[in-house]
Amino acid sequence: MNSTIVTVFILYFIVIIGIGYLTSRGKLSHSEFLLGGKRLPGWALAFSERATGESAWLLLGFTGFVFTTGLSGIWVAAGIASGIIFSWLVLAKKFRQETDHHKVLTLPDYFAVNFKEKANIIRWITTILIASFFMFYVGAQLAGAGKLFLTSFDMDPALGIVISTIVVLSIAFFGGFISVVWTDMIQSIMMLVTLVVLPIVALVYIGANDLSISQSLSTAGDSFHSWFGGATGFALGVLFFNNFSWFFGYLGGQPQLSARFMALKNEKEVKQGMTVAIVWTVLAYIGAFLIGLAAIAMYDQGSFADVETILPVMIMDLMPPWIAGLLLAGILAAIITTANSQLLVVTSSVSEDIIHRALGIKLSDRQLVWISKMTILISGILGMVIALTSDSLVYLIVSWAWAGVGGTLSPVILMTFFWKRYSSTGAIATIISGFVFTILWISTPLDSIITSRFSTFFIAAIFGIVFSLLFPDKKDRSAVE
């Protein structure tokens, strides 16, 4: 265990928890705890949104995916980048306007105020959907932390999971959304530095040691050197849609990302955030893709028991200890930011949508904040238990959660925003069908043919359209608004 790297990690923990504590000082209202009270700048929200959106799966899962697939992994990056750019160009402004108009704090509450006829049912089923999938999503982040500590320090992954859980809970517990955004900003920069610096160093190493990425792609496997994985015809269409399908989860249906759009205070902040987010995305995904390709040149296929440890191994091999410590902390940053935000989404759904709205329990701001903090602790512990008791792949678990939440709620968002005939029964049908079909789809061989990230979006959308036409609301939403 390298003492320099350990020292850097300890300093990282102290700084991040310190920032979380300092930004949370003062009495917070419930709205400030959940959404920042519209006081945060657009650039900070953009950094936070990107750090939250790109979790352990980007640094660990995606780099490992490229290592095992080669050039065709580019379509995952293309799908995700397209979704991110679309959401900032088209949806961010709409989210801000709708949040100001309806005075809502959460995505379930936004659905509820738009579909008043069945508001409480929508609150309940949306909260159940989010909580069910996000507990596994949080578990995947903490499992990623365990892998990082195992690779970096040869530490028992269980101990790494526990340490990461303590840090995650400390930040989220102190100051809610405000603490999470400011710590996200620091961690987002660390992630970007890791994804920009490491591929440059790796390419220099490859050149200096007379290695060749193109030759390595040819020898790694028959499909590695092909941008389409060697597929043709129907198989080509399946490969493209399966990899590009991450796009559909970015169309407003990820509440941890949409919360950043809802927190934007004016049009100027939207444009500012848009620029930061798009530049970050382009640099990060080019970097992650190049890391995966560089790893193919540097390491033989089959040399890793777990390909999702490639990035930390490469950092340890190429960097001096103090720089390695900083870059490894960048991976941990990705894990912590996403886990924090997901816990906050679950918390807001429980305290605001269920206790405050659906059950109508009258509580003071202080009581609601404390309920939120207790929910964070309970949810974090559940996520830790899932990470400790499962042996799942980060990439796979995040993919399923992406389908279950993003693929289900994105059609709800798009039709609520842009289709006035979308009804409360249609919204319920969208959410329930998305939830049920994701579970059914991933439980069968169908998911290996056409990913649930693709199928869930379209199945949920079709159910929403059909049920809206069959069971329209008594009063058109355009008249209500």
pLDDT of the chain, 481 residues: tens digit per residue = 568 888 887 888 788 777 777 766 666 676 777 778 888 899 999 999 998 887 667 888 889 999 999 999 898 899 889 999 999 999 999 999 999 999 888 888 999 999 988 989 999 999 889 888 888 778 877 887 787 787 777 778 888 888 888 877 877 776 678 777 888 888 788 889 889 999 999 999 999 999 999 999 999 888 898 888 766 565 666 666 777 888 888 899 888 899 899 999 999 999 999 999 999 999 999 999 999 999 999 999 888 888 878 888 899 899 888 888 887 777 776 677 777 777 878 888 888 788 877 787 777 777 877 888 888 888 889 888 888 886 655 556 667 777 889 899 999 999 999 999 999 999 999 999 999 999 898 888 888 788 888 899 999 999 999 999 999 998 765 544 5
Range of the domain at 276: 3-20+38-111+130-345+354-391
* Residue 370 domain flag: yes
* Residue 120 domain flag: no
* Residue 451 domain flag: no
Taking each continuous run of H as one helix and of E as one strand, the counts in the chain are 23, 0
Q: Which two tokens stand for residue 276?
A: 């930061």
* Residue 204 domain flag: yes
**Cα(414)–Cα(416) distance, rounded to whole angstroms?**
6
3-class secondary-structure state, position 391: coil
Give how many domains the chain has, as a whole number. Answer: 1
Return left, alpha or beta for 62; rule: phi > 0 is left, psi -120 to 50 is alpha, else beta: alpha
Residue 190 and residue 286 in contact, taking contact as beta carbons nearer than 8 Å: no
The amino acid at residue 125 is I
Look up tokens 């949810």; give the residue.
Answer: 379
CA 456 to centroid of chain Cα atoms: 18
Q: Which two tokens stand for residue 362?
A: 């009258």
Residue 286 and residue 197 in contact, taking contact as beta carbons nearer than 8 Å: no
**Cα(462)–Cα(167) distance, rounded to whole angstroms?**
42
CATH number of the domain within which 307 lies: 1.20.1730.10
- Whole-model pTM? 0.84
* Residue 431 domain flag: no
359-363: long-range contacts (C-beta < 8 A, 24 or more apart)? none
* Residue 364 domain flag: yes
* Residue 414 domain flag: no
**Cα(319)–Cα(265) distance, rounded to whole angstroms?**
41
**Cα(80)–Cα(95) distance, rounded to whole angstroms?**
20
* Residue 450 domain flag: no
Residues 6+ apart with CB under 8 A from 448: none
